[in-house]
Amino acid sequence: MKKNIFDCASGKTVEVDLTPEELAETEQKAGTPPMPTQEEQLLLALSDTQMRLAEQQALTDKLALAISDMQIGGTTT
């Protein structure tokens, strides 16, 4: 059975002749993303946590600046 696939080496789409077994294997690989390793999962969790901490720090900084502005300006709003 003929199938169009992307050839990474040439950067072009090429037509190849596959057996039904090869075609099924190709379709299965294309539909199943690889599972990240435990180390990759931990690194992603660490990156996510660091981003959340940075967002919280930015909000804390904005709040501190607003409080300082209120104290300097004497605004009680």
User: Tens digit of pLDDT for each residue in 28-67?
Assistant: 766 667 788 999 999 999 999 999 999 999 999 999 999 9
pLDDT attached to residue 30: 65
Q: What are phi and psi of 36, to 5 degrees?
A: -70, 150
Tokens of 45: 């969790």
Q: What is the CA radius of gyration of the chain?
A: 27
Across 42-51, b (16+ Cβ under 10 Å) vs e yields: eeeeeeeeee
Query: pLDDT at residue 75 above 60?
Result: no
Which residue has better confidence, 17 or 32? 17
| CA–CA separation, 12 and 65 (whole Å) | 55
